[in-house]
Every structure is written in structure tokens, then in C-alpha cells.
């Protein structure tokens, strides 16, 4: 079971953003995107889902900010089909998922994203002489 943080400004539960999450056995907490300023306020989720369905510019900027601030958890962006045409590598998300994706696809994307992040060794920034 993953601890998922859903960043969205949508009213209602996380199922309004990604309905398939309701059918999966994960703990989902929701936070408004407008309150996140580059950190997750002490939270340490396994995965962060970012709602990019309605405001692509804000979602892109927040994804870039979170990644630049050293977000440790994988970052997945939830998009509509129209948003898929706009997303690019410089958005700095680990994966994207359509809001209409079924439970099997969502589960697979969550597992793959979290396993890729777990395999990345930490950067050794020590200077040796």
C-alpha cells in the first residue's frame, strides 16, 4: 500500500481527479496546490500525484519547483487527453497518467515510478582529495 499525496485544487475527494484510485488499496491524502511552495511541509509520501487536468501552466510550474527543491518521491501528473499534447520532458515529472485510466494502469504506473525512484542512488557530493 502506497502513501499518496494528491495535489489538487479540485473540490471533492481524490476520486474526482483520478477515479481509479478509489478502487485501489492506497492511502490518499489531498492538499491544495496553492498551499505548496516547493516543500511538502514535513510530509513524506511514497508517491505524489499532481492534478494537471485544468491548469497546465500551474501544474508544470509546481512540478518544476518541487523537483528543483529535491522532491524525493516520484511525481506523477494527472492529465486529460488534451494535456498529453502539451506535456514535455522539461516539466520534470516521472510519469503521466490520464484521468480516465483504469485501476490496472494506475497501479502499474505507481509501482513502476516508485521502483525507479528506489533504484536511483543518492548523489555523492563530497569532494575527495
Residue 62 lies in a domain: yes
Give the pTM: 0.84
Separation of alpha carbons 117 and 41, rounded Å = 21
Residue 25 lies in a domain: yes
Separation of alpha carbons 104 and 111, rounded Å = 11
The count of domains in the chain is 1
Tell me the residue range of the domain where 70 lies: 3-119
The string of pLDDT tens digits covering residues 32-46 is 887 776 567 677 899
Report pLDDT for 22: 92
Taking residues 109-126, report their average pLDDT.
Answer: 73
Residue 129 lies in a domain: no
The CA-CA-CA angle for residues 62, 68, 74, to 5°, reads 75
The string of pLDDT tens digits covering residues 67-86 is 998 888 999 999 999 999 99
Helices marked H in 69-102:
81-84
Separation of alpha carbons 72 and 113, rounded Å = 12
Q: What CATH number is given to the structural domain containing 85? A: 3.40.50.2300
Amino acid at each position: 500500500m502506497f502513501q499518496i499525496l494528491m495535489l489538487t485544487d479540485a473540490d471533492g475527494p481524490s476520486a474526482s481527479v483520478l477515479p481509479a484510485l478509489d478502487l485501489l488499496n492506497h492511502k490518499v491524502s489531498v492538499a491544495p496546490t496553492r498551499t505548496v511552495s516547493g516543500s511538502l511541509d514535513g510530509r513524506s509520501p511514497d508517491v505524489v500525484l499532481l492534478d494537471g487536468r485544468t491548469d497546465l501552466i500551474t501544474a508544470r510550474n509546481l512540478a518544476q519547483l518541487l523537483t528543483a527543491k529535491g522532491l524525493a518521491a516520484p511525481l506523477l501528473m494527472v492529465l486529460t487527453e488534451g494535456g498529453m499534447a502539451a506535456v514535455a520532458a522539461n516539466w520534470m515529472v516521472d510519469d503521466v497518467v490520464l484521468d480516465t485510466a483504469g485501476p490496472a494502469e494506475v497501479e502499474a504506473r505507481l509501482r513502476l515510478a516508485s521502483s525507479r525512484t528506489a533504484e536511483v542512488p543518492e548523489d555523492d557530493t563530497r569532494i575527495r582529495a
